[in-house]
Amino acid sequence: MNFHQLYYQDPYRSSFEAAVVSCKPSDGGYALVLDQTCFYPEGGGECADRGTIDGVPVTDVRLEGEEVVHFVSVPFKPGTTVSGSVDFAFRFQMMQWHTGEHIVSGLAHTYYGCDNVGFHMSDVTTLDLNRHLTEEQLERIERDANEVVFADRTVEYLFPQEDELDRIDYRSKKELTGAVRIVRIPDADDCACCGLHVRRTGEIGLIKFLSHTHYKGGTRIEMTCGRDAFRKITAIQRANGETARLLSVKPDKTDEAVRRILAESAAKDRRISGLNRRYFRMRAESIAPGTPLALCVEEGLNGIEVRKFCDLLVKNGSAAVSAVLCPDEAGQIRYCIGSETVDLKSRVKELNEALDGRGGGSPQMIQGTFRTDAKTAARVLASCFG
C-alpha cells in the first residue's frame, strides 16, 4: 500500500489537501499527479471516482505504475497546494455494489464451486460465474447473501505472509505474488482484493438480483445493492402499480391479468382472420367474369392477408389480373398482383418505376410496396391492365 493512497487509509474520506507533484498535457487535457489523494482509480471492475480538484471536474482517474493520475481540463502548477473533493454518493454506491458482489461470489463459490470470471459496474453490477446455475440455486444465493447483510458482519482485512497465505482458502482471479490483501467477510467470502469496501455488511442495505442469463456456458447475473436497489425497485414498483391500475387488478396479480389479455387478444385475432377470409371470398365471388382488372383496396391487412386475398381473387378466375392494395399510415402501399394469363414479371419494373415501388416475383404473382397514394396506384394499374 502506498502512502499517498488515502482511499485505503479511509474509504469514507471524501475531501483532502495535496501538493501538485506534476501536471503534463495529455489527450487534450492534463494528467495531474498529487502527493496524496482520496481519488480511487479505475480497477478490479470498480469505476474511477468522480469529483473535483480546486473546483475543476476530474474526468478520469487511473493507476499508472505506482502513480495515481487524475485527468483534468486545466493545468495545475507543481508545488502548489490543491483541495480535492470526491463525489461520495457515487463512491459509496461503488462500495455497496462491490462488497455485495464479494458476498454473492463467495457464496456461489462455497455452495456450487463457481468462479467469478467477469465483473463490471456501470448502470448495474454485472457478475459472470463460470457455471450454469438453476433458478433455485440463484434464489438460495440471493436469499443467503441478504442474510449476511442483515447479520451486519464487519469486513476484515488480512495481510498474510506467503507461508500463511497457503493455508487460507481464498478466491482470486490470478496467482498472486508479493504482498496480498485478503478481504474477509465472515460466513461469506475470503478474497484477494485491492478494491474499496463498506465497513460493515449492514451498510449494503439490500442485495437484489435484477436478471440472470446463460452466458458463455455459465451464468451472468445483473444485480444491484443499497440506494440504487431502492431506486430501481421503486421504479419497477411504480410501473407495476400503474399496470395494475390500468388493468384494475391488485399489484401482485398483474401477470395473471396480462396473460388473460394476451389470450383474449389471440382469440380476437383468430376471429378477425376468419371474418377476413369470408369477406375475401365474397369479394372474389362478386367479380364479374371477363373483368380485365379486379382491383381491391383494403386498409389494415398484414402481408400474409394481402397475399391470401390476392390468391383467392386469382383462384376465382373471373378477372385476367387481380390486384390487392393495402395503404398504411406511413404513406406506403403494400401490393400483391396475380394472374394466370398475363406475364406479370415482365411488367413489374415498369410499375415500380411509375409508382416509386419495390418488389418482384414470378410471372404469376408479384408483390412489394409502392410509395404513392391509392388513387394514383389504381389509375396506373388500370392503364396498365385495364
Q: Based on CB atoms, which residue is closest to Zn ion, 183 or 204?
A: 183
In angstroms, the CA 21 to CA 77 distance is 9
Length of the chain: 386
Encoded one letter per residue, x for contact with Zn ion by CB under 5 A and - for no contact, window 163-192 reads: --------------------x---------
45 makes contact with Zn ion (CB under 5 A): no
Residue 193 sits in the site that holds Zn ion (CB under 5 A): yes
Residue least distant from Zn ion (Cβ): 193
Residue 51 or 195 having the CB closest to Zn ion: 195
Interface with Zn ion, residue 155, by CB under 5 A: no
- Is 94 a residue that touches Zn ion (CB under 5 A)? no
Q: Which is nearer to Zn ion, 1 or 282 (CB)?
A: 1
Measured between alpha carbons, how far is 99 from 327 in angstroms, rounded to an integer? Answer: 58
How far is residue 270's CA from residue 36's CA, in Å, rounded to a whole number? 71
Shortest Å distance, C-beta 13 to Zn ion? 18
Residue 186 has phi, psi (to 5 degrees) of: -50, 140
To Zn ion, the closest distance from the beta carbon of 102 in angstroms equals 5
Q: Which is nearer to Zn ion, 183 or 333 (CB)?
A: 183
Q: Of 183 and 326, which CB lies nearer to Zn ion in the complex structure?
A: 183
Whichever of 100 and 195 has its CB closer to Zn ion, that residue is: 195
Nearest in space to 361 (alpha carbons), one of 342, 379, 374? 342
The three state secondary structure string of 45-84 is CECCCCEEECCEEECEEEEECCEEEEEECCCCCCCCEEEE
Task: Confirm or reject binding of residue 195 to Zn ion (CB under 5 A).
Answer: yes
Contact 71, 27 (CB under 8 A): yes
- Applying CB under 5 A, what is the total number of residues that bind Zn ion? 3
Strand partners, 56: 53
Supply the minimum distance, in Å, between the C-beta of residue 119 and Zn ion. 10
Compute the distance between CA of residue 150 and CA of residue 99 in angstroms, rounded to an integer.
Answer: 14
| Residues at the site binding Zn ion, with contacts judged by CB under 5 A | 183, 193, 195
